[in-house]
Structure 1
Amino acid sequence: MIQLAVRSLRHRAGGFVASFLSMFLGATVVMAFAAMLDTAGGAGVDDLSEETLVTMATVVGGWGLVIVLFAVTSTMTLSVRQRAGELALLKSVGATPFQVGRMIVGETALVAVAAALLAVPLAAGGGWLLLEMLQETDQVASGLSYAFGPAALSIGIGVTLLASLGGAGVAARRATKLRAQEAMTAVTIEQTRMTRKRTIAAIVFLAAGVNCGIVTATVFDGKGIDAMQTAGQASIWFSIGLALFGPVLVRLVTAVLAGPLRMLGGASGYLAVENVRRRTQHVAGALMPIILFTGIATGTLYMQSIENSAPPAASSSIPAEDVAAIETLNLVVVGMLSVFAAIMVINTLVAATTYRRREFGQQRLVGSTPPQVMRMVGMEGVVLAAAGVLFGSIGSIVTVFPYSLARTGELLPDTTIGIYLAIVSVAATLTLASCLGAARKAIRMPAVQAVAV
């Protein structure tokens, strides 16, 4: 099965692009921030600079690790689900569940090693730029020498392998627990119910987010910028919980938008609604990064905006000179996580749409024109964008409202709506552009050839 994994990678390289990109970007992010630990351990580093570097590596790198784990697992699950027919065929010719699982894990391990090694040069450059930014903002001493060594390499490569193999294990378990006949049926009839484990995990993440919001509004009331310790975590945990509930959320939004889409889109609108309902699990996988991008970016940017306009708090344990460093840290957090999530939006949607080349070919053979196919995909993108923006916005509330209450005494922050409109515009544009761009490329292939692929 390991030899089969190698051959599968060789002949289906395009099918592993989405997984490779998520691993590559994840390794780059983790290694770049882990390099701050190597730099902090160098000779002549003063205590204040060391504290800043370690904080940057552990806080930002830690949250990056959470998002990377989630993104890799999501991408691997989507990849394995798209190959359900191939895996079912292997079972039907005698492959055991253990052999199929070993093939999936073997493929993932090879891709993860390649992604981690290729990420080293980019991560080294990213770490250097991060140190330059910290020095330019006077948060670390200007004379420090940059180091990219054992901590960055071991943490980055180790995390990438563990996250990738963990995601492969989760995806392989679902693919291998079905019998051959059940697996062949699952290719055409998608499971609509969420598993018990996924439901429990979603509830745990939601509860963690709510708990952080409550602590922010109560324990840290009047404590100033100290409230960021829990407020920043709230939107991340809650957004992950909502993303795990993706299949349920997709069905809710589709039920609301079904009427308008059918009325405005005609046949294309009808097909878009039916496709989303029939492919709930696939759509939910593409929904996850949109929710994470919207929730994390909105929560963190509004939290910092509230802090910038709030009066100083006498009971804060953080010295005034450290406030600028915390603001930089927050901007780096939202920048790093938002860029990663945005790339994952494009990556996931392109992979999910390109996979449908055969479906688009079949529709064209029975009479659909390319413009009709594009309208159908565009309407599906509208459902995705609406669901992602809506529930990502809900995810940000557990950060924005509690932090505003703790810092200003008001539930609704007195800040500009421009930040939110910008985030929503970016999320919607990325979603629609990714779906339509991938669909346009997919329908360039002649319909007969697409069906035969």
Structure 2
Amino acid sequence: MISLALRSLRHRPGGYLASFLVLFLGSVMLMSFASLLDTAQGDAVDTGSEETLTTLASVVGGWGLLLVVFAVTSTLTLAVQQRGADMVTLRSAGATPAQVGRMIVGEAAVLAVAASVCAIPWAIFGGSALLDVLIDTDQVAPAVSYSFGPIGLGTGTVITLVAATLAALVTARRTARMRVAEASAATANGSRRMGRIRIAAAVLFLAGGVNLGVMTIVLDHDKSAEIMQTAGSASILVAIGLALLAPALMRGVTALLGGPLQRLGGVSGYLTVQNVRRRADRIGTALMPVILFTGIGSGTFYMQSIENAATAAEGVAKTTEQRNIETLNFVVIGTVVLFACIMLVNVLIAATTHRSREFGQQRLIGATPRQVLRMVTAEGVLLALTGVLFGSLASLATVLPFTLARTDDVVPDAPLAIHLSIVAIAATATLLASVGTAWRRMRVPAVEAATA
């Protein structure tokens, strides 16, 4: 099955392009920050600089591992779902569940190794740029020189491989254990029930986020660094918990808005509702990064804005520690939000590209290209609205507790432009990725697309 995995990757590289890109970007992020630990071991590094470098590498390393595992699991799940017919054929031909599972894990491991190797030069550039930022903001001494060594290389490579393997095991577990008849039905109608493990994990993440929000309120409010750590982590955990429930959330929103959409949208509205209902699990995979991007971006950027306003209201100048925390927040969250945005575009392009055959079949039975594009646009709007809604709810796990802790108010005195900017980026990226890809697919003749 390992040799079959290699042949599968060689003959169908496009099927795992999205997973490779996520692994590559995740490896670049992890190696860039982990290399700061190599830098911290230099001879000319003073105690303060070493502490800053170690803290930054540790914070991003922890969240980076969690997000990379989550992102790779999402894209691998999508890739395996898109190859449902292949999995059914293998099972029908006599392949055991363990063999199919080994093939999926083998493909992921090969992708992880290739992505890690390709990421090395980009990680060196990224780590050097991070050090320059820290030096320019007086958080690290100018005498410190950048070093990319065994910690950065080993940490990035091992974590990427572990993330890919864990994600593949999670993906393979359910796929491999499905009976042939059940797998055939799931491939035909594109729907599956969420597993108990996934639901349990979602509940744990949601509970963890709520717990951190409560801790933010009850901690010593004079220690802004501590409450920023708990508050910032709260929205990340809640966003991941909601993202795990994405298929159920998508079904719920469709049930609520399906009737009006069908009445107002005509043929395109009808197609939209039917597709979303039938493909809720796959659309849910695309919904995940929208929730993550909106929730993490809004929550953490608002938190820093609230902190800045509270400091200014107290009439005191920012201390060196406060400036360090602000820079750390912007670097860390900027990196995480950028990763989530790229993941969003990556998953949507992969999901829409795979629907070329579906688009061709719809055109052959009478739908016009304009109607198909309207359907994809309506799906994109529904996806963006759902992602923004639940991402905004996730951000409240950070915003409300932190506002109460720092200002004793419930509603933050912060510009609405922050949230509107995050929402605009999420909606624009969602629509451009889905509609733009569908428009390119429309240029392929219907017969050719339907028989591909």
Note if 1:406 corresponds to 2:408: no
Aligned partner of 1:47 in structure 2 is 47
1:222 Cα offset (Å): 4.2
1:176 Cα offset (Å): 0.7
- Cα 1:192–1:92 shift into 2, 3 Å: closer
Q: In the TM superposition, what whole-angstrom CA distance separates every residue of 1:262-289 from its partner, at most 9, and x where no partner exists? A: 2332100111011001001001110001
Aligned partner of 1:363 in structure 2 is 362
In structure 2, the gaps of 5 or more residues are none
1:320 Cα offset (Å): 2.4
For the residues of structure 2 that align with 1:439 and 1:426, how far apart are their CA atoms?
20
Q: What is the one-letter code of the residue matched to 1:128?
A: S
- Cα 1:112–1:311 shift into 2, 3 Å: closer
Q: What is the one-letter code of the residue matched to 1:423?
A: I
In structure 1, the gaps of 5 or more residues are none
Contact 2:295–2:392 (8 Å) recurs in 1? yes
For the residues of structure 2 that align with 1:167 and 1:424, how far apart are their CA atoms?
29
SS of residue in 2 equivalent to 1:341? helix
| Alignment of structure 1 residues 303-322 onto 2, 5 Å | 303-311=303-311, 320-322=319-321
1:312 Cα offset (Å): 7.6
Q: What is the one-letter code of the residue matched to 1:185?
A: A
Contact 1:225–1:307 (8 Å) recurs in 2? no
For the residues of structure 2 that align with 1:66 and 1:102, how far apart are their CA atoms?
23
Aligned partner of 2:178 in structure 1 is 178
The more displaced of 413-422 and 255-264 is: 255-264
Q: What is the one-letter code of the residue matched to 2:299?
A: G
For the residues of structure 2 that align with 1:105 and 1:354, how far apart are their CA atoms?
24
Aligned partner of 1:111 in structure 2 is 111
1:192 Cα offset (Å): 4.3
Aligned partner of 1:193 in structure 2 is 193
SS of residue in 1 equivalent to 2:410? coil
Note if 1:440 corresponds to 2:443: no
Contact 1:24–1:115 (8 Å) recurs in 2? yes
For the residues of structure 2 that align with 1:71 and 1:313, how far apart are their CA atoms?
39
For the residues of structure 2 that align with 1:349 and 1:399, how far apart are their CA atoms?
27
- Cα 1:376–1:191 shift into 2, 3 Å: closer
Q: In the TM superposition, what whole-angstrom CA distance separates every residue of 1:366-407 from its partner, at most 9, and x where no partner exists? A: 111111110000000011100100000000001000000000
| Alignment of structure 1 residues 13-412 onto 2, 5 Å | 13-311=13-311, 320-412=319-411
SS of residue in 1 equivalent to 2:153? helix
Aligned sequence identity (%): 56
For the residues of structure 2 that align with 1:190 and 1:377, how far apart are their CA atoms?
17
For the residues of structure 1 that align with 2:99 and 2:226, how far apart are their CA atoms?
51
SS of residue in 2 equivalent to 1:285? helix
For the residues of structure 1 that align with 2:269 and 2:363, how far apart are their CA atoms?
16
For the residues of structure 1 that align with 2:242 and 2:61, how far apart are their CA atoms?
23
Tell me how many residue pairs correspond in the alignment. Answer: 450
SS of residue in 1 equivalent to 2:158? helix
Contact 1:364–1:447 (8 Å) recurs in 2? yes
For the residues of structure 2 that align with 1:221 and 1:270, how far apart are their CA atoms?
53
For the residues of structure 2 that align with 1:340 and 1:281, how far apart are their CA atoms?
22
For the residues of structure 1 that align with 2:43 and 2:37, how far apart are their CA atoms?
12
1:186 Cα offset (Å): 1.7
Q: What is the one-letter code of the residue matched to 1:404?
A: T
For the residues of structure 2 that align with 1:181 and 1:264, how far apart are their CA atoms?
38
SS of residue in 2 equivalent to 1:445? coil
For the residues of structure 2 that align with 1:39 and 1:250, how far apart are their CA atoms?
45
Contact 2:246–2:287 (8 Å) recurs in 1? yes
For the residues of structure 2 that align with 1:217 and 1:61, how far apart are their CA atoms?
26
SS of residue in 2 equivalent to 1:310? helix
Q: What is the one-letter code of the residue matched to 1:249?
A: L
SS of residue in 2 equivalent to 1:49? helix
Q: What is the one-letter code of the residue matched to 1:15?
A: G
For the residues of structure 1 that align with 2:217 and 2:313, how far apart are their CA atoms?
15
For the residues of structure 2 that align with 1:92 and 1:180, how far apart are their CA atoms?
7
Q: What is the one-letter code of the residue matched to 1:230?
A: T
1:102 Cα offset (Å): 1.3
Contact 2:39–2:148 (8 Å) recurs in 1? yes
Contact 2:191–2:279 (8 Å) recurs in 1? no
1:360 Cα offset (Å): 0.4
- Cα 1:325–1:311 shift into 2, 3 Å: closer
The more displaced of 258-267 and 397-406 is: 258-267
1:260 Cα offset (Å): 2.9
Contact 1:92–1:181 (8 Å) recurs in 2? no
Q: What is the one-letter code of the residue matched to 1:331?
A: F
Q: What is the one-letter code of the residue matched to 1:68?
A: V
1:291 Cα offset (Å): 0.3
For the residues of structure 2 that align with 1:311 and 1:377, how far apart are their CA atoms?
46
1:259 Cα offset (Å): 2.7
Aligned partner of 1:422 in structure 2 is 421
Contact 2:30–2:60 (8 Å) recurs in 1? no
1:189 Cα offset (Å): 3.1
